[in-house]
Structure 1
Amino acid sequence: MLQRFRELNTLRNQIFIGFLLVMLIIILVSGAFVYDRVSILLKNNAERHIQQTAVQANGRLDALTGQIDGLMEQVANHPTVQQLLLEELDGNEVSFNQRQSLLQIVSSYQAYMPSVGSLELYTADYRLLFPIKEGSLESRINEQHISEANAQKGRLVWIGVDPHDDQSLLAIRQVSLMDRWFSRGGYLMARIQRSYFQLDDPFSGSDSGESVLLVNDEGQLLGSSGTPQEDLLPLLESGDQTVSFRGKEYVQVKLRSDKTSWTLLVLTPVSYVTKGLSVLRTVLLVSGGIGTLLFLIISFLLSTMITRPIIHLIRAMRKSRMGVLTPNSQKVSTMELRELNNTYNGMVANINDLIRVVYEKEVLQSRTELKALQAQINPHFLFNTLEAFNWSLEEKGEEELAGLVVMMSRLFRYIMGSPHNKDEWVTLSEEVEQIRRYLRIMEMRMGERLSWDIRLDPHEAAVPVPKLLIQPIVENAILHGVESRVGKGVIEVIITPSSRKGWTSVEVSDNGPGMDEATLLALRDALDGGPPVSAKGSGVGLVNVQRRLKLYYAEAGMKTEGLIVESRRSEGTVIRFEIPSNGGDTYESGQQDDSNRR
């Protein structure tokens, strides 16, 4: 049994079973989802159709009741009717001829609406005035409907089924006398055929089997020519959407009429609402079965096509397990196996190439590290050499050249840094001292052509600043300002508190030839990240300072405007910038790191 299981537990069978399970899950999930979505869609469409039918039926009922209301209002406001009721109210007995005249009036109105079986006119004391016969309103309807007509003050009141004729419906309204401030003058009652309110043919066996029933509060069926004795009260009292009626299941929608206080029942067979679901269920089952069968065949073929090339590839790889990687020289005919074999052979070739490249890189790296170690020079060798030059010049009496060597030595120490002071931040006083050394060296070279002035506010001497932030600006002023001027050049470095609280202003100016508008715009564009000003690299030092300002103080969270350049032709150039007086968090973190190192 175990051996049988091992034979079946192959990669092909696993792929086949895995594909089959995935396909079955996909079919079941997608089928359930489609069935649920489509069933909801069909149900919503059916509900909208039923609701639309109910709204249309209610609109039709309102139109029918409006016609009856308009007819009775015209009769009640007729001058003859008003006059006769007024005489009755004054105590004058109406003659037979006067009552007979009402027949022509009523007949003329009934001609327009044959569904109105008769109109009855009663006096204020409930006596029958028309038609000409004995009778009273109290014997015709109950006192509750009379009281409701009085309360409505001229509005139409729908009574329901006529107690003396179950094929007719009754409606009554109070007649208001316009000449007596609309006081009660009598009553006008209409008898309407029930077929007038038949909104459809109930249970006629139509395609949908949908029925629209008009029912009063007592559960009597009103809008049908059949008997009204069937009790529909359980349908009115039921709050369920699906009800049972005459042995069938129906979807029920109730809509109450405000004018008549009657209820419209729209009954739609459940089979009509759900008839699309059975078709959908059948389609899903058939399509799912066909899809599963096709996928079984495709999965079997695919699993076989996948596993056969893998077996051949495994055999080829076993040959290279114990030795150097060698390509597989076996010839194959199928495209899949040929692709796998070519991929394996290409991988073997790439790995062999990588082994060779890595070996060569290791050899080259070893040689490079050896040369780097041999090329390392201790900066102290340079400083000691300069010190030896200094002593030699002092012994020979060349004190001026000896001082120049000392200043150069200090200049190099400041730029390169000492092993105990590798911090990138210095104070403004240290930066200014470096500038003085640089200007003295330049002064020795240029002689009387250069004069300079440095003014540092004592309160700003301890302000931290990145090393070599001001010197490139001074160097730029000498290179493009003083050296380009005919005559004596002046360099001024002024460091004062800024007008902004907590900031320090640094300004470097020269009296050189200045720049025209085009050159100035090009320089400003270079500071904003554009191309350099010229092929000589003009402005490179300024661009370096600009980038360092942005980087150092952006890290500190204190945004600076950077370099501001002002220049005019033949008037010189002024470059200024502002830095935070506290140096920002970057300086403090740098000082802390330096303390930890010490």
Structure 2
Amino acid sequence: MHMKSRSFYLSLKYKIFILFYVFIFAITLIFGYYSYWISKKEVINRVSESNIGVTRQINNNLEYLQKNISDLVTFMSIDPFIQNLLVSNETEDKLPSVTFESLNGSSQLIVNLIITTKNLDFISLYGNTDIPLYSVFSDGSSDPGSFSTIRNSDLYQQALALKGAPLWFKLPEKTNLFIQNNIAPKLGMAKIIRNINTGETIGFIVAGINETNLQNLYLKDLVKSEESVIIVDQAGTLMTGMGEDIYSKAAKNPPFQDVLKNEAEGYSILTIQGKQALVSYSANNNLGWKVLYSVPILSLTKDINSIKTVIIFIIIVCLLLSIPLMFLLSFYLTLPLKNLLSSMKRFQKGNFLERIEIRNRDEIGDLSRGYNSMVANIKQLIDDSYILQIKEKEAEFNALQAQINPHFLYNTLEMIYWEAESADQTHIAEMVISLSKLFRLSLNKGNNYTSLAKEKEFIENYLILQKMRFKDDLNYSIQIEDNILNYTVLKLILQPFVENAILHGFGKKRGKVTISILGMRKADHLYFKIEDDGIGIDPLTLQNILEDETENETENETNASQESGGYAIKNINKRLQLYFKDNYSLKFNSELGKGTLVEILIPFNDQIKKEN
């Protein structure tokens, strides 16, 4: 609040100075941030493309490894010696265990190939016996699992459902379904063995490779500090990984789960435990496995963080260099404004002829021209207000027709009223009381404005008097909406038109005339309509009613106009022009033999206000 009040009293020169500095700071900040953002985006795009390529290569290697293992196990399963052994008619108790030496030449070659290539670290062959017919470990693990336990497991049922296709899974360290004494976690593959002649299931084979061997073969040289590569299966289960353990950190992260479910390749920026990471991924088409390569965003943007330092340096240099330029600019901008302010002070002291010299064609020049125009308009308004006061006084004098003491006239009318009441002259009494109300409303305590309710009452009393004169020949209706009766209008704005309707409606011949008066609100204006079905007004007379008075008009003509129309319509038109300028409408439409229509439209937003 204190800073706000201090800035309120700063001169325009200092405000421009501060605004310019804020503008320079904002521009350089936006430009620097945009440059940093573009650079960061470009780095991320390039790294993501490179990392997607790495995940594709890992997938290709995995497909090659899986194919090799699957092919070797298949070759061993269809080896004639193994097939004959499994389809042997010997009973389960007498089915012999198989040693490496008892294998025939081709089977020994396959086992040697499996072990020596390090594609597998263990293999177990099961027939109908609880213990495997053949089992070998290359990493020191021992004690293969019993086939009866395996046969009751979900993994075995899954392998049966695949009908000879390989089933891949993860073997945890230590005791598991297939190895009782497991030295290291492994990736396992199992499949049933079918009789090549009948297609019947005759055996079961399971094999595996240590995770460390797999990592050393395909992942070790790819992962740097703080980076991570993980491999998940089709269900999203972690098979293996190397580097940062992002799987356990992000396993419950919905965006990470969306990445695991995405079957296409691509990249995504994820927030893992408060840190952003670029995760690139691609899928294995054969098994549905997915390789994810995670790199911290912070490590990618280290080199472009220098842009921040450059931005700060540019901001400081721009601010320092702009100081002299800013002083010249502020002086040039504020000098015409100072001249304008000096002229305003002279105008405040009463010099209404004050003007300033305009030398610029810019906004300040427009402001100076507007100031000169405003001074001229104010002087004109002062003159108009003076004229308006004179016109209103004349209207009041014309309405009274003489300078009559109101108290004297009220008392006289009251005396006539009681005399008429005493003489049982009810008709005369009604005329006197209507005339008294008419007189009171026309004076309106000297106010220039009156409410529409009082204007309506004035017209009603006037028409009551005229009705007494014309009797059944005159009919009238007054319909002014109730919701506008509390608005104020110029005093005696409608009565002259009603009087004109009677004057020109009857003319020199008597006949029946109906007058209707309507008042309503239309948008931001008040709308009035005075309509009669009298004899109408000829064009020449209508032109004389609407035209302004000229200097050539004689005093007798003016007085005659005023006498015939009360508040002369010319006078009303003048008052409307003085009060509302061009923001009003007065329309006459008359046709001989059909009648006359008068429409008035005046604003109520500025000049017309609700009466307190």
Q: Please, what TM-score do these two structures have when normalized by structure 1?
A: 0.43
Q: Please, what TM-score do these two structures have when normalized by structure 2?
A: 0.42
